């Protein structure tokens, strides 16, 4: 199978194939001179109920809620079919679960699924939704849910209602601004490489190991980027982008948006009339492990540091009239890593002597194997407003993809949101595969994913 999937093939392979003629025309990208643009803002609750699985069923299920989880976003009207951008306080949306969200929001907004971007912040005391993996574990009879289908559908219904209600309250959007702020003492590279060029230690999101704290930050993107839409001088939506795993601590059954979500809410409280969104960038190999010992006190500090990065990014905003809006999308299908065998994985899932985490996690692998074999690709997309490009990427991309995109287009303000369709799990660079380590071990794609994803990113940024 060709690794690069043509958009028409994507449409024929998606559950929305009945819309293929219109989708194909729209997927070619559109560019609109701004004039009658409107913005509709929405938000709705996605907090799981008591007893629901968290992070795919391999940590403590819900015992209580420290702070609720939300889905937030906007619909941009007046540039071809409506454009929907949404971010969810969940660990991930994978495979059919991600497509279902895009289809549901698209129907509510009166658009097509290829013009909907849905991302997760990736908190771990939160749902990790894969309907395909849920079906696999449900057939075993003794495993915890990946995602409870009834709860999943309730969230879709809430989202559809929220979008429809938002359309009735849409307002003109006339200006856009962008800003940057440096985040201090949060992000560090999770992968420590030894003298032999191999992965030596996984620093992770939290660590009590003094060695992890002494070791340098490594390759990160220290800049938090913000893009703001305005009606005249009134702020409507502020979208914040920063690359780092957003967990300070988890596994205690206490639902939380964690430090990145709580920092966003603190900023939201400052400006209740402006909807603030937080997108996790290409943080697959980035975490807070150098600065975070997993304590409750550390979470408080991390919240403050992200909040200060957000406010710094908004300190010198200069709104400019919106002159141009363009949307583009591109579909890719990276090859599977050769080491995965569905039959062997299914035997491991069925073996009740194996740990729940190992059995449930393998269900995600099988789900992606079946997806690739069915020819259902991953959709990338971008929204360009003037000289700003908002890049929507899948899964747990390594930070190199974000840095490369910014380096290749230095005259463009490129803000990256990863953790879209999470089916592929980690997306390392080609250089990372021979180094080994955790992220490579749970990358369902082979090393060819680097050139395929990089080509898709380049295509989007050149085309929009």
What DSSP letter does each residue of 291-302 carry, written as one string? T--S-HHHHHHH
Q: In what order do the strands lie in the sheet with 83-88?
A: 116-120, 83-88, 70-77, 38-45, 171-172
The CA distance from 101 to 421, in Å, is: 10
The CA distance from 126 to 217, in Å, is: 27
Query: How high is the pLDDT of residue 463?
Result: 80
- Tell me the average confidence (pLDDT) per consecutive run of 10 residues in the chain, 464 residues long: 37 36 35 78 98 96 98 98 98 98 98 98 98 97 96 98 98 98 98 96 94 96 98 98 98 98 98 98 98 98 98 98 97 93 97 95 97 96 98 98 97 97 97 97 96 97 82
pLDDT, one tens digit per residue, over 63-87 is 999 999 999 999 999 999 999 999 9
Cα R_g (the chain), whole angstroms:
21
pLDDT, one tens digit per residue, over 108-166 is 999 999 999 999 999 999 999 999 999 999 999 999 999 999 999 999 999 999 999 99
Query: How high is the pLDDT of residue 32?
Result: 57
The CA distance from 365 to 297, in Å, is: 36
The CA distance from 427 to 404, in Å, is: 14
The CA distance from 246 to 180, in Å, is: 19
The CA distance from 154 to 89, in Å, is: 16
Query: How high is the pLDDT of residue 17?
Result: 35
Per DSSP bridges, beta strands 413-417 and 388-392 are: parallel
Sketch the domain layout of the chain as residue ranges. 7-463
Of 395, 446, 386, the residue nearest 416 (C-alpha): 395
In the block, tokens 């380590």 appear at: 437
Query: How high is the pLDDT of residue 464?
Result: 60
The CA distance from 278 to 166, in Å, is: 19
| Residue 159 CA: distances (Å) to CA of 103, 152, 163, 411 | 11, 11, 6, 36
Whole-prediction pTM value?
0.93
Is there a contact between 158 and 254 (Cβ–Cβ < 8 Å)? no
The strand pairing partners of 396, in sequence order, are 426
């Amino acid at each position: 199978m060709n690794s690069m999937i043509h958009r028409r093939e994507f449409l024929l392979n998606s559950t929305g194939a009945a819309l293929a003629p219109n989708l194909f025309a729209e997927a070619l990208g559109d560019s609109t001179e701004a004039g009658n643009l409107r913005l509709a803002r929405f938000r709705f609750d996605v907090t799981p109920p008591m007893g629901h699985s968290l992070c795919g069923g391999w940590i403590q299920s819900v015992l209580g809620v420290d702070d609720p989880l939300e889905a937030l976003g906007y619909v941009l009207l007046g540039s071809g079919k409506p454009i929907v951008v949404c971010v969810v306080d969940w660990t991930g949306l994978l495979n059919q679960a991600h497509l279902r969200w895009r289809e549901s929001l698209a129907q509510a907004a009166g658009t097509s699924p290829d013009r909907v971007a849905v991302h997760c912040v990736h908190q771990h005391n939160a749902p990790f939704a894969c309907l395909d993996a849920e079906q696999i574990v449900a057939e075993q009879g003794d495993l915890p849910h990946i995602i409870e289908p009834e709860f999943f559908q309730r969230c879709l219904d809430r989202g559809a209602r929220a979008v429809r209600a938002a359309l009735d309250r849409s307002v003109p959007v006339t200006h856009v601004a962008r800003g940057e702020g440096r985040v201090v003492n949060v992000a560090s590279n999770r992968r420590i490489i030894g003298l032999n060029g191999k992965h030596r230690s996984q620093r992770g999101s939290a660590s009590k190991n003094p060695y992890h704290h002494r070791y340098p930050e490594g390759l990160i993107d220290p800049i938090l980027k913000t893009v703001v839409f305005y009606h005249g001088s009134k702020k409507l939506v502020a979208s914040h982008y920063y690359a780092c795993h957003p967990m300070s601590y988890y596994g205690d059954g206490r639902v939380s948006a964690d430090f990145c979500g709580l920092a966003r809410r603190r900023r939201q409280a400052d400006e209740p009339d402006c909807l603030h969104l937080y997108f996790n960038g290409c943080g697959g190999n980035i975490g807070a492990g150098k600065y975070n010992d997993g304590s409750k006190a550390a979470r408080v500090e991390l919240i403050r540091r992200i909040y200060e990065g957000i406010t710094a990014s908004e300190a010198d905003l200069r709104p400019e009239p919106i002159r141009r809006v363009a949307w583009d999308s591109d579909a890719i299908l990276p090859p599977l890593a050769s080491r995965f065998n569905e039959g062997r994985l299914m035997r491991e899932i069925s073996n009740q002597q194996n740990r729940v985490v190992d059995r449930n996690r393998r269900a995600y692998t099988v789900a992606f194997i079946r997806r690739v074999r069915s020819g259902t690709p991953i959709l990338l997309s971008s929204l360009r407003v003037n000289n700003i490009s908002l890049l929507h990427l899948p899964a747990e991309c390594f930070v190199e993809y974000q840095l490369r995109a910014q380096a290749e287009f230095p005259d463009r303000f490129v803000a990256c949101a990863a953790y879209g369709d999470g089916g592929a799990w980690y997306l390392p660079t080609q250089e990372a595969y021979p180094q080994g380590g955790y992220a490579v071990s749970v990358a369902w794609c082979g090393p060819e994913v680097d050139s395929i994803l990089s080509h898709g990113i380049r295509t989007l940024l050149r085309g929009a």
